[in-house]
């Protein structure tokens, strides 16, 4: 295994990691809000308790932030 200073830079590593992160982070956040917010909305419609929608949104954003931290924060 080569040392880090001997590692060759490949042409495909020309900033695509940054572009990938720039698109996937908002995607995680929107997906979390849509998925868990939608589940909370459905649960609110089913039970008649309005509080499930904001709880679902907050839970979705919290889990999405955690996933972003696990993937890019290290």
pLDDT greater than 70 at residue 58: yes
pTM here is: 0.70
> pLDDT confidence of 23, banded at 50, 70, 90?
confident
Q: What is the CA radius of gyration of the chain?
A: 19
- Better-scored residue on pLDDT, 27 or 19: 27
What is residue 15's three-state secondary structure? coil
- Residues, the chain, total? 74
Mean pLDDT of the chain: 84
Structural domain spans, the chain: 15-46
């Amino acid at each position: 295994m080569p040392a880090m200073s001997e590692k060759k830079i490949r042409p495909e590593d020309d900033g695509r990691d940054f572009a990938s992160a720039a698109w996937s982070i908002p995607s995680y956040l929107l997906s979390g809000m849509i998925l868990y917010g939608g589940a909370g909305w459905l649960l609110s419609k089913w039970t008649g308790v309005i509080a499930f929608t904001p709880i679902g949104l907050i839970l979705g954003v919290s889990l999405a932030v955690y996933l972003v931290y696990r993937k890019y924060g290290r």
